[in-house]
């Protein structure tokens, strides 16, 4: 395991026990209405207009462009699923409250 891969795996381990619905509820309770995206070679933000991505609207999960182990591959496979589920809750919240992704 190389140092970069080890760091990425360590940073993503929280995904193994993450609960997108619970995390969404905590985010809303703390006033954080950002969507979740995944960044590796490209940025992917499920249910969000890519033209409107800013730091105040999207928080990114960093994954690696190069996967060196099964553990890392597994964690990186979970990240977009987590983001998609979390963002579906956030999209419903935004729609309910009339918030538009590209509003400043």
String of DSSP letters for 60-75? EEE--SS--SHHHHHH
CA-to-CA distance for 44 and 49, rounded, in angstroms? Answer: 10
Question: pTM for this one?
Answer: 0.88
DSSP letter assigned to residue 71: H
Q: Domain extents for the chain?
A: 3-96
Condensed to tens digits (0 to 9), the pLDDT of residues 59-82 reads 999 998 788 889 888 999 999 999
CA-to-CA distance for 72 and 63, rounded, in angstroms? Answer: 9
For the cut 70, the answer to whether the pLDDT of residue 3 exceeds it is: no
DSSP letter assigned to residue 14: G
């Amino acid at each position: 395991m190389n140092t970069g891969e080890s760091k990425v795996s360590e940073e993503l381990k929280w995904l193994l026990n993450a609960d997108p619905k619970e995390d969404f509820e905590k985010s809303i309770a703390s006033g954080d209405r950002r969507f979740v995206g995944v960044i590796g070679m490209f940025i992917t933000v499920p249910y969000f207009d890519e033209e409107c991505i800013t730091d105040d609207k999207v928080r990114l999960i960093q994954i690696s462009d190069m996967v060196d182990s099964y553990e890392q591959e597994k964690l990186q496979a979970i990240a977009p699923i987590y983001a998609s589920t979390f963002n579906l809750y956030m999209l419903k919240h935004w729609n309910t409250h009339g918030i538009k992704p590209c509003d400043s």
